[in-house]
Structure formats: C-alpha cells, structure tokens
Structure 1
C-alpha cells in the first residue's frame, strides 16, 4: 500500500543511514534514464514531505544537471539488510550541491532478489578520471557487463504520475542479450504491486541501469520495453515464470574509470 506524502519516521531514519539510491528522470532532451546517486550516511535527509539529497549524478551521467520541475522516482536500498524504500515526487531543485524533492508517494518494497553486498559511495563520486561513452547500441563490453550482472535497476514512467525507479535481481546472467540492440529478462514474482509493469502497459518508455559495485562503473540504457506472456516453462521462458520483459535499446551511456 502506498504511504501518505509525508515521510514516516521509520522511512526518514532508514534514508538517513543509506549510501546509495537509483534515480529515474529525464535529461534535457526528454530521454528517460536511471542513474546511481551515492554518498556517506546522512546524504539523504527527509522531513515531512521533503527529501534533500546532498549528492548528484556525476559528470558524464545522462542525468547530470537534470531539468527541475519534473516528476522523478528513486529507490533506496540497504543491500546488507535487503530493505528498500521507493519514493516518487517533484524535483524542485538540482545543482552541484544536490537535489531537493517534494514527496508525493513513499513506500517499502519486497526484499526478494536483493543480493547482499557492500557499497562504497566513493566509487560513484565525481572524478576527472571518469570516461563517458555514448552510443546507440551495446558494445561487446556492455554485453559482458550485462551477462555478469545479478542486479539491475529499472526506470519506467506514467503519463500523469511521472517517473518510477525499481530494482530487479536474479541469478547471474538472468538478463539475456539477444543482440546489440535488444535484451530480455524473466519477471520473477515479487510483491504483486506491479508498479513497473503497470507503467509499461500505458507507456513503453523505459530505462535500465547496470552497476559494477566494485569499480563504480555504470551502464545506462534508454529505450522501450514490452511485457511478454507465455505458458510457464514454454520455449524461451528463461525463468519458468510465464512472464518476461523485452527491452529495445535506443541510447547507451557507459561510465568507466
């Protein structure tokens, strides 16, 4: 169930202890992206219906200097406890000092498929050593990163409610690269809220984020996604769940050090 626009005391305490969020929004050209934002505990400060983030997407990130007055979504995850909180709201300010968000919705989320890991916030800090590569298709190194992933973040959008950020996890290699322009993953059962799938049913715009939590490298994809239904266990049903999502790549940004 969705909470009220006011952040609960529990959510505020949880956010204050976190080091990492994934944020969904649009760049200055209107493309949908999802990006990592990290900091030391305390970089997320919530009060009533306001959330302040004392960090921003780094240089080269497609959401660096993102436009304000847009509806964005973010998800904060504690990978040690496998707890997560999702927040949707309006971006009121964005500059080099951080972001300010007026909260419209905040709610907890199912801990399934969250792999326990340590997160070094410094790995996602701004650095002159970061290299950004932009393309319209997946480079072989991008495909290798996807094939090695057990986690990614999914950004979707709704015509009236704006952007949303969510998490997807599974066994290593659960995301299948079919070509340099397409990939697919099984949609495992979760909390049965279907926020992301509901958004895709009315707007097929989507964004994906793959992260190397050791090096701080990130792979950002913008494109479209369609939900596919089959009989569970049928040919091509990799997860045996009868439901998968096919993603078509339209733009790629890869950040490495």
Structure 2
C-alpha cells in the first residue's frame, strides 16, 4: 500500500519526481524510531493541524516545558498540556480526530512530522496514535532559541477574531520569515508543514489574498498534494518579537506557471501558492513565548 494518496501522486507525476518520491517515501513509517523518540522527548513546542466542523482547516501552536512531548509506545505520543479553550484545536478534535503534527527544533533545524489520530485524556492531556512518522530536511529554517515562560498571573486571550486582516496583521505577515501551513486530503487526513524564507517571502495583496513561493524541497509534495484535493488550509504566524500568534483559515490554490513579474517578486520559487483568508484569530500570549534570533537559513533564496 502506498504512503501517498492520489493528490500527492498527481503532483509527483506532474513534476516528474515520482521515482524519487518512491525512494524517499520509504522513510515514512507508522512507528517512531529510537532516534526520533530521543528527539521528541527533548522538545518543548509543536504545531498541530486540525479541521473544524465546517471543514475549515487550522494550524495551532502548543508549547510547554521540556517533556511536554512524551513517547509512550512505538506508535503513540502523549502531549502533556491542556489545549487552550479559545484555540480552534480545542473544539476541532471533538469533531474530527485526524490531525497532523510537526515538531521542530529551530536551533538544530531538525523537524519531524507525525500524522494520525488524536484522543483526549481525563486530565486534559492528549495522545496521538501515529499513522505516518518521518523527518524533513533542514532547508529554510531560521535558527532561533525558544523559551517558554508562563506567568501564572496572566492568561492568554484572543485579541482579534474577524473575517479580514487588519493593517497591522498585514505588516506582520509581509515581514515574516517563517510560517506553518496545515492541509487535508479529500479523505480528511491532516498534515502540517513548515515554510521559511527571507523576510518578505510571503506577500499580502490589496484584495486581501496572500501569495507565497514553493521552494525546492523533499519532492514528496504532501502540502501541494492536499491542496489539489482540498483547497482548505490553515496558516500560522508567530510574532517573534512579542510571542503573539496569528491563525488564518481559508482556501488555497497552486499557480504552476509563473510570469516574469512573479519570478521577480518571488526569487527562487518553483511555483506559487495563493491563499484567500476566510477567518482570522490573533492571540495575545501574555509573553509566554520568547524568541531569540540567531541566523537565517543558508538555503533562503536572496532577492534578485
């Protein structure tokens, strides 16, 4: 049985990389290796992709002290924290158990993905039964130190929930060098992935749409394969100055052929993705999440 669904296969064949994908795809396993277990047990942040009752897709950020992620079986992890009730993930997993997870260490630039089924424990922690486990290459990851420093006297709060981006949110996105994208196959299988580049690599246009490049990667095309089947995706941005979180849900489509103007605006792009915002959630994290920039990825395309 193939580890790829028909949407991923379609993109691989369209771009002539099916044989390479078949070779790389052998790394996708239903179990967690000893090496991945050691990595997971040391991390303190992760991103989760989920789907709400209306079929909209969201990407969520979860963090805590080291040990927040615990491998409890060869194919299962426990996330030892409660989900904030204002985050879409809280209610989404009551409706749809399929989720995608990416765990990333921005300093070492190591990242791995776990796609599977989620369950909630009576103490508020959650568990993920893995169906697909695999690592990703270190490309386009900006090195940053992350620390989690909760203040028991403060609480996270939703600062903004609307249908459109504010002017300040547009500036935030236009200056971003990192975001995460959650997507789903037509069968509801979830995935979440990292995207990075130099500041300005993702752009907001006057009509409210966003556009970002698809750079050379591992040729599995999990995200694009999902978009081909299901245009609904969720984007997640982190304000690395104050730790605030921006979640966007909407629809995307792939631009396979680029003109000269597109090539000049998005150097290094092999194709583009356009995203139309449907809903926006901005969360004030009360300074829980603190970041220290180290350096940009050496793989980032530079402006022409």
Q: What's the TM-score, normalizing by structure 2?
A: 0.78
Q: CA-atom RMSD, angstroms?
A: 2.1
Which runs of 5 or more residues in structure 1 are unaligned?
A: none
Structure number with bigger Rg: 2
1:115 to 136, 139, 142: 142
Change (3 A) 1:213 1:94: farther
Alpha-carbon distance in 1 for matches of 2:151, 2:115: 22
Task: Please list the CA deviations of residues 146-178 of structure 1 after superposition, one character each: whole Å capped at 9, or x if unmatched.
Answer: 012100000000122511000000001111001
- Bigger proportion of residues as helix: 2
1:250 aligns with 2:278: yes
Match of 1:157 in 2: 184
Alpha-carbon distance in 1 for matches of 2:120, 2:63: 18
- 1:102-141 counterparts in 2 under 5 A? 102-122=129-149, 127-141=154-168
Alpha-carbon distance in 2 for matches of 1:162, 1:126: 38
- 1:181-220 counterparts in 2 under 5 A? 181-220=208-247
Which aligned segments of 4 or more residues in structure 1 are displaced greater than 4 angstroms? Answer: 123-127
- Does structure 1 conserve the Cα–Cα contact (< 8 Å) formed by 2:56 and 2:233? no
How big is the shift at 1:129?
5.0
1:91 aligns with 2:118: yes
- Does structure 1 conserve the Cα–Cα contact (< 8 Å) formed by 2:58 and 2:235? yes
1:64 aligns with 2:90: yes
Q: What's the TM-score, normalizing by structure 1?
A: 0.92
| 3-state SS in 2 of match to 1:111 | coil
Which runs of 5 or more residues in structure 2 are unaligned?
A: 1-24, 287-304
How big is the shift at 1:29?
4.4
How big is the shift at 1:127?
4.4
- Does structure 2 conserve the Cα–Cα contact (< 8 Å) formed by 1:210 and 1:220? yes
Match of 2:297 in 1: none
1:21 to 43, 46, 50: 46
Alpha-carbon distance in 2 for matches of 1:42, 1:83: 17
Task: Please list the CA deviations of residues 153-207 of structure 1 after superposition, one character each: whole Å capped at 9, or x if unmatched.
Answer: 0000012251100000000111100136311011111111111011111111111
| 3-state SS in 2 of match to 1:37 | strand
| 3-state SS in 2 of match to 1:213 | coil
1:37 aligns with 2:65: no
- Does structure 2 conserve the Cα–Cα contact (< 8 Å) formed by 1:70 and 1:91? yes
- Bigger proportion of residues as strand: 1
